Amino acid sequence: MVTQPLRDELDPKTRLLVIQYGCYADAAERFQRGGGETYFAQRYTVDFLADVARHVARVTVLSYGTSYPRRRLHNGVYVVGSELYPPGRGVQARLAHFALLRVAQRERPTHIAVACPEPTVLAWALMQRARTFAVFADSFTRASRGARLKYRALAGLLNRPGVAWVSNHNLAASLDLARIGVRPEKVVPFDWPPTIRAADNPPKTLRREGPFRVVYVGMMLESKGVGDAIRAVDMLRRGGREVELSLVGGTSPTLVAEVARLGLDAHVHFLGKRPHAHIVPLMSEHDAVLVPTRHEYPEGLPMTIYEGLCSRSPVVFSDHPMFAWRMRDGVTGVRFQAGSADALARAVERLMDDPVLYAALSASAEDTTRDYLCPVKWDQLYRALLSTRRATRESIAPYALARGHYGDLPLAG
C-alpha cells in the first residue's frame, strides 16, 4: 500500500506506464468479486498500483501476453493488452512489436517500468525520455547465436543513462544480467515481501505408512520438467515404490496423454488451478515438493521453492543454474540433474529412504528462509522510480551488485 509519505512525494502530473506479461485486469477484477490470489504477492502488486493511481494523472498497465481494448478499471488503473508473441514468426512477429509500441505511445508516459526483456520495447522506452527502469524475473542462459545477439543488444540498452537501474528477481538472476554485460552498479536484485513464513508450520518427519506423495505447482510445460516428474513416478512405481504425484496449475492434453500411456491415471492427479492461499497448506499435506525446471526454461528464482520451504515439506530441485545461490544439496533440499527422469526418481528415492535427512531438511527450513529473500522489495523499486525526493530515488542504490551488500560476487560486464 502507498504510505502517506510517498503520496506526498508523487507528482500529480505523473503518467506511469507498466509493460508486463501478466494481465493486471484479470487479477484486479477477480479481487473485486471476492476471489483470491493465483500466485505469490499478487494482491500486493495490484493494490500498490491502484494506490498510486489515486494520486497521479494516470497509471496504465500494458499486458504483452494477450490483446484486449483499453479500459479503466474500478480502482482507477487503465489496462490494455497487445500480444507481443502471436503464433508465427518473421513479418507477423515484427508487426506484433510495432502494434504494441503504437499502443504504448498513446499513453504519453512520464515514467516507464519495463518488465519485458525485449530490445525493441526497451529501445522505444529510451526514446520517450521518460524516467525508466527495467524489472525482470528472467534468466539469460540460452546459448544459441540468436539468443547471444539479443542479450548483447539488451545489455547495451540497459547500460544507457536513460535506464535508471535494472532489477531482476533474486540474486542469481541478477548475476545473470551482469554476466551478459549489464553494469553491476546498475543491477539491483529485488524480491517480494515475506507474506508466509516457515515458522508458521511445524517441522515434519518421514511418514512410514501409505504412498510417498509429491507435489508440483506451476505451469504444465515440458521445459518446467513436468514430463520428467511423470516419467520419474513411472520408474519408481515399476521399481516397486509407492509414489503419487499431484500437479497443480492447470492441465495439458499432452501430459494427460502421457499419464494415460504409462497407466498412471490412478497415481498422477491433475488438480487444476488452485487459489494461492491453498498452495502452502497443500504442499504441507504432501511429503515433498518438486521443482524440476530444465535449464532451457528462463527461470528467475521461483517462489515455489520458498513456498515449499515454508511448508516444511522437503524440496527436490533441479540443478538449474538460477537455484545454485539459494539451494544446496543435502542442506536445503535434494538436488538432481535437470531433464533426467532417472535422476529425479533417484532423488525422490533418496528422500524416501533417509528419515534423518528428511527430518533435517524440514527442521532447517526456518534457517534456510531467513535470508532467502532479497532486502529490496518490488514496491520499493516503484517508489524510487516515482518519488520526487532525491533520498527516495537513491534509496535502492546501496543494494546494487557492485556495492558489496551481498559480499564477494562473480561479477562480469
pLDDT tens track for 104-131:
999 999 999 999 999 999 999 999 999 9
Yes or no: say if 270 and 329 are a contact pair by the CB < 8 Å rule: no
Query: Which pLDDT does position 413 carry in this prediction?
Result: 46
State the average pLDDT over residues 178-203. Answer: 94
Query: Which pLDDT does position 1 carry in this prediction?
Result: 47
> Whole-model pTM?
0.86
State the average pLDDT over residues 94-101. Answer: 90
The values of phi and psi at residue 173, to 5°, are -65, -30
What is the pLDDT of the chain when averaged over all its residues?
93
Cα–Cα distance, 32 to 73 (Å, whole number): 10
Cα–Cα distance, 140 to 147 (Å, whole number): 8
**pLDDT tens readout for residues 349-393:** 999 999 999 999 999 999 999 888 999 999 999 999 999 999 999
**pLDDT tens readout for residues 144-187:** 899 899 999 999 999 999 999 999 999 989 999 999 999 999 99
Ranges 7-16, 59-68, 81-90, 331-340: which has the least confidence: 81-90
Query: Which pLDDT does position 312 carry in this prediction?
Result: 98
Task: Kindly indicate the confidence band of residue 3, based on its pLDDT and cuts at 50, 70 and 90.
Answer: low
Cα–Cα distance, 214 to 236 (Å, whole number): 12
Cα–Cα distance, 385 to 165 (Å, whole number): 9
Cα distance from N-terminal residue to C-terminal residue, the chain: 36
Task: Kindly indicate the confidence band of residue 90, based on its pLDDT and cuts at 50, 70 and 90.
Answer: low
Q: Cell numbers at residue 297, please?
A: 526454461
State the average pLDDT over residues 285-309. Answer: 92
Query: Which pLDDT does position 72 carry in this prediction?
Result: 98
Helix axes 145-158, 119-127, angle to 10 degrees: 20
Q: Which residues pair with 131 in a beta bridge?
A: 111
**pLDDT tens readout for residues 4-63:** 567 889 999 999 999 999 999 999 999 999 999 988 899 999 999 999 999 999 999 999
Q: Which of 289, 291, 269, 280 has the alpha carbon at shortest distance from 358?
A: 289
Query: Which pLDDT does position 93 carry in this prediction?
Result: 72
